[in-house]
Amino acid sequence: MNKNIIFYWNDIPLYAAYQLKYLIDNSQYNLFVITNKKNFQYTFIKKILRNNIFFFNENNNTYLTDLILKKNPDYIFSSGWAYKNINNFIKIIKKVKPDIKTIMMMDNSKKNNFRQLIGKFIFIFFIKKYYDYFWVPGSSSLNLLNYFNVDKKKIFTGLYSFSKKIFYVSKKLENRDPDFVFIGQLIDRKNFLLLLKSFLFFKKKNTTSKLIIISNNFNNINLNIYKNKDVIFKLNQTPQQTAKILNSCRYFILPSKDDHWPLAYLESVACGCLSIVSKHIGSISDLKKGNNSVVISDLSKISISKAFSSVLMYDSKKLRKIECQNNIIAKKYSNDNFLINFNKIIYNLK
């Protein structure tokens, strides 16, 4: 008998919709997705997941419980551990139907700070007991769950993936323009303003490179003060458009102040790019191999500008090696492997 599986994902991002669509099309299970109605990408996500997605008001737990029980799920995957509404709902479901298996998806990294010390206490005494297994993208989240005293046998990796039909090397790294691409929200956490200032400072010494900014939230940001012919803004790009831009640029840049496991970094690796990333990105331990990534320890205008200059010095031989390193890394995170990791969890839950 086919198993019924529900993914409960607050504000499900576009990349996750594509990932789950791959599971819907390629797994043997009945899979449904539930997210709240406030999701600003509602139209796009509905188009991708069609009849397999349901939207709800996050404050209405009674409706949500009825909706999920009607689907009679065997397993529930939920996103994150800091969402109060998700944890409350999982508690309710466990009381109503104790035999349902629950799997928490999380990408948080271990940071050795006071906040996580408090979080450890909350997690151990108030959250952990409601979840049977945990699914994380890589080693940084694995380290956090070890810190939270979760049994290693209950942790699975390989949460995130990319579409190998979209993100792949279509142009040799050495033959691309010496341009930089940033993908992400234009917010303080992503260090967007420092990136712009650093690039414009770097441009005083270099006149050939461009910076391409791919984002979905240009609203309420005065971009005119950063207007420059070599800074190009791209709004709401499709995955195919993003992959095309990545393959036109030699370098990917992400100087975040804090980032758990940004998918853009993985997608850039899949497209063969040489990356410049901050030390605060959790996926470095999984995606950095040899010289394929330059890690910035000091997030300052001078340091980022020096990183820009340093990667321009890489010769063709070094670039070919980086492209090869990226190819090896990317294979581990293709959507085929995502399906394998998902099936592994279901097999263990049986």
Taken in order 260, 114, 84, 150, the sign of the CA dihedral is positive
227 falls within a domain: yes
Window from 71-75, 136-140, 222-226, 280-284 with minimum mean pLDDT: 222-226
Q: Are residues 203 and 142 in the same domain?
A: no
Q: Are residues 67 and 202 in the same domain?
A: no
Q: Which amino acid is at 208?
A: T
DSSP one-letter code for 162: B
Residue 314 pLDDT: 97
166 falls within a domain: no
Higher pLDDT, 113 or 23: 23
168 falls within a domain: no
The pLDDT mean for the chain works out to 90
pLDDT of 55 strictly over 90: no
Helix (H/G/I), strand (E/B), else coil: 52? helix
Cα gap 181→237, rounded to integer Å: 13
Q: How many domains are there within the chain?
A: 2
167 falls within a domain: no
| Cα end-to-end distance, the chain, whole Å | 12
112 falls within a domain: yes
Q: Are residues 193 and 272 in the same domain?
A: yes
259 falls within a domain: yes
pLDDT tens for 242-275 read 999 999 999 999 999 999 999 999 999 999 999 9
Query: Which residues, other chains included, contact 260 with Cβ-Cβ below 8 Å and sequence gap of 6+?
Result: 107, 108, 109, 140, 141, 282, 283
Q: Are residues 104 and 46 in the same domain?
A: yes
Residue 63 pLDDT: 65
149 falls within a domain: yes
- DSSP β-bridge partners for residue 102: 76
pLDDT tens for 95-142 read 888 899 999 999 999 888 888 999 999 999 999 999 999 999 999 999
Q: What is the pLDDT confidence band of residue 341, given thresholds at 50, 70 and 90?
A: very high
Residue 228 pLDDT: 81
Q: Are residues 232 and 325 in the same domain?
A: yes
Output the DSSP codes for 247-281. Answer: TTEEEEEE--SSBS--HHHHHHHHTT-EEEEETTB
Side by side, the strands of the sheet bearing 101-105 are 53-56, 30-36, 4-8, 75-79, 101-105, 133-135, 155-156
Cα gap 21→31, rounded to integer Å: 9
pLDDT of 1 strictly over 70: no
Q: Are residues 179 and 277 in the same domain?
A: yes
Q: Are residues 199 and 316 in the same domain?
A: yes
Q: Are residues 318 and 184 in the same domain?
A: yes
Q: What is the CATH number of the domain that holds 188?
A: 3.40.50.2000
Residue 250 pLDDT: 98
Q: Which amino acid is at 130?
A: Y
Domain range for 153 is 4-161+334-349
Helix axes 42-49, 14-26, angle to 10 degrees: 10
54 falls within a domain: yes
Q: Looking at residues 316-343, what average pLDDT do you find?
A: 96
Q: Are residues 213 and 305 in the same domain?
A: yes
Residue 316 pLDDT: 97
Q: Are residues 177 and 121 in the same domain?
A: no
Q: Global pTM?
A: 0.92
pLDDT tens for 289-322 read 999 999 999 999 999 999 999 999 999 999 999 9
Q: Are residues 301 and 341 in the same domain?
A: no
